[in-house]
Structure 1
């Protein structure tokens, strides 16, 4: 996962009429419309083009005019994530399509990807929401079932991992570590929508906020591979990992999921790969990054395949390109594992700079068209 998260995450964006400008003297040059909210992010401001918009399919047109990489979120009042877009570089623009119900929200910009962000209130009023294509309702139901299955199948694997940790068996714990993370990595945007769980189970040490305790998978990863020892503290962390992931398993069915959040979540998974797996930062001690990489791609592809019938009807050229790029990335990843059904991937410290660049290029080639999927299903 990226270095630090906004204490919450999963997907759905918003947009608005350019009328009352909220402390904004400069407007983005993104196309304006009555379903678009322009968001201008700097190192110390988060300016939005409106504080009120009618419910329905909306769009954020984001421009980062600051000097730091930023993230932009739409948040529920309890800080659950409605939608997000991470890793927006200085001088760059992003567009995010989403479906938002009536209610009170906040738009948050997070310069440097740290802290709670700079926030603006957003009121989404009643208004008429178009009848959703029944195929999209079916896709949402299928994806919800998929996310629940991944959570259900993760718990036994985590318990195997934790049992090895508590037995003090270093080698058995190392062997069980990567398989215990696959279901989480496949559905990470849903998991992260419960922002209180992600910082406990999947934070990296360099992603800790001030005063935050280092717990979860990566705390144990460090103990197993770098410290090469398991003590009482690690056993306590292992028990807490089971508790926190059991909480996640019970809450998956309550996640806010829409067709656009599925599409945006697929893009988020590719961003996870680009910012953590390809760089080798995610699994810096175990070097099991390619296992996470494959799981992220599988999760993104699941969302895409479920949304594909509607996307193909609305934007056939986009679907052709996505099919091509998913196939290319899958074929490239297959070079690094024993067989196509195995998660026995090459240790990432054995993957050279030229190979990492090839992987990065393939991820970027997929991420660009994938960023357009939400707009395609919202047409």
Structure 2
């Protein structure tokens, strides 16, 4: 996803003057957050401590992120930057490729996403182990908030199409919008009834309970033949019924957003590593079997999002684990890369994937073998991290 960093770097505003000092030592970087852009004063800096002074030129609260090369994991963020206010983000960055992005209104995908390069030699972890753990937890909470914020706006766009009767657009948006949820699914599961209401499959619903959420709408968008519906012809939802289920999904998604933005919300270091493990278990138990998206057959989209979420969680604690078991880190790096490359032969979230019902038995087995190869060492991550 970082195929053209030089091209991306040229997207900086022409009015943004490069800061040579910032490029040399990481101090004095400035960021102007506007309604449509996120102008950083330099697109490169030397490894070590970086300082971004973020000024908000919009009329709503904004955020600034430094993202890892995958565009998902948050290396550092400063939030609640009020209109006309300037706040500073200080991070200790390793050499590599990154992205900068601002998020006016603190929801959605953000604006002005631009390549940022850190050069030089690797730097040592800063602080004692507890301080490193605290930093990992802070960054993971920021990642969760970011994904749920994208889910809120994406779900609204999806439901607007669904309620307007534009089923073709809604079907196209269905798997990509769900990616933000699938990346952080263990978080939703930690809030009691929220995951069942948002994401239960029809087969998961106990007799007498109401079936709501994404998969209720999925069945309406991808109606099954009678043979796949217990022998009964599927009856499409009425306009009022569509509104009812859409309103429920909107309310539940907002409830998830409010929960992770609560001032007291936090995560423990073991919940991060267990989240990575749990996301691979989600792939093994649902996506690789085709049971998750039984009507749309978009299981590989979910697979990709689960895998991305697992890697973000792992990468967040990787350097701490490396100090304890470098061999485990080497194995996990290799097997994550291998499974990502294997899945990429079937497509991407941007271009689409092969539908699950078009996969051969041999292809499903190969994917399952790749998942199992990663799951086995990943299952030891928490024990090493907290041991």
What is the Cα deviation at residue 132 of structure 1? 5.2
What is the Cα deviation at residue 155 of structure 1? 1.0
Q: Aligned equivalents of 2:261 and 2:342: distance in 1? A: 34
What is the Cα deviation at residue 196 of structure 1? 1.6
Matches within 5 A, 1:187-206: 187-206=184-203
Q: Aligned equivalents of 1:256 and 1:152: distance in 2? A: 17
Among 347, 353, 362, the residue aligned to 2:355: 347
Per-residue CA deviations over 1:80-104 (Å, capped at 9, x if unaligned) read xxxxxxxxxxxxxxxxxxxxxxxxx
What is the Cα deviation at residue 235 of structure 1? 2.3
Is the CA contact 2:141–2:266 (under 8 Å) kept in the aligned structure 1? no
Q: 1:257 matched to which residue of 2? A: 267
Q: So what's the TM-score if we normalise by structure 1?
A: 0.63
Specify whether residues 189 and 287 from structure 1 end up closer, same or farther in structure 2 by C-alpha distance, changes over 3 A only: same
Q: 2:310 matched to which residue of 1? A: 300
What is the Cα deviation at residue 221 of structure 1? 0.4
What is the Cα deviation at residue 176 of structure 1? 1.4
What is the Cα deviation at residue 365 of structure 1? 0.7
Q: 2:178 matched to which residue of 1? A: 181
Q: 1:88 matched to which residue of 2? A: none
Per-residue CA deviations over 1:239-293 (Å, capped at 9, x if unaligned) read 1101110110111134441111110111000000001000000001111111110
Q: 1:95 matched to which residue of 2? A: none
Is the CA contact 2:290–2:356 (under 8 Å) kept in the aligned structure 1? yes
Specify whether residues 353 and 189 from structure 1 end up closer, same or farther in structure 2 by C-alpha distance, changes over 3 A only: same
Is the CA contact 1:291–1:343 (under 8 Å) kept in the aligned structure 2? no
- Number of equivalenced pairs: 247
Q: Aligned equivalents of 1:234 and 1:268: distance in 2? A: 32
Q: 2:336 matched to which residue of 1? A: 326
Per-residue CA deviations over 1:185-221 (Å, capped at 9, x if unaligned) read 0001111110121111100111012321011000010
2:275 aligned with 1:278, yes or no?
Answer: no
Is the CA contact 2:283–2:306 (under 8 Å) kept in the aligned structure 1? yes
Q: Aligned equivalents of 1:250 and 1:132: distance in 2? A: 31
Unaligned runs of 5+ in 2: 1-127, 224-233
What is the Cα deviation at residue 228 of structure 1? 8.1
Q: Aligned equivalents of 1:349 and 1:251: distance in 2? A: 36
Q: Aligned equivalents of 2:266 and 2:335: distance in 1? A: 28
Q: 2:205 matched to which residue of 1? A: 208
Q: Aligned equivalents of 1:192 and 1:132: distance in 2? A: 28
Among 214, 218, 233, the residue aligned to 1:217: 214
4+ residue runs of structure 1 moved beyond 6 angstroms? none
Q: Aligned equivalents of 2:174 and 2:308: distance in 1? A: 19
Q: Aligned equivalents of 2:367 and 2:235: distance in 1? A: 30
3-state DSSP class of the match of 2:296? coil
Matches within 5 A, 1:1-379: 133-226=130-223, 227=234, 229-231=236-238, 232-254=240-262, 255-337=265-347, 342-379=350-387
Is the CA contact 1:168–1:230 (under 8 Å) kept in the aligned structure 2? no
- Which protein has greater RCO, CA pairs closer than 8 Å, 6+ apart? 1
Specify whether residues 228 and 331 from structure 1 end up closer, same or farther in structure 2 by C-alpha distance, changes over 3 A only: farther
Is the CA contact 1:165–1:230 (under 8 Å) kept in the aligned structure 2? no
Q: Aligned equivalents of 2:294 and 2:145: distance in 1? A: 29
Is the CA contact 1:170–1:229 (under 8 Å) kept in the aligned structure 2? no
Q: Aligned equivalents of 1:193 and 1:256: distance in 2? A: 12
Is the CA contact 2:129–2:320 (under 8 Å) kept in the aligned structure 1? no
Is the CA contact 2:145–2:257 (under 8 Å) kept in the aligned structure 1? yes
Q: Aligned equivalents of 2:198 and 2:249: distance in 1? A: 6
Per-residue CA deviations over 1:290-340 (Å, capped at 9, x if unaligned) read 111000000000011110011011011111110111001000011011x5x
Q: So what's the TM-score if we normalise by structure 2?
A: 0.62
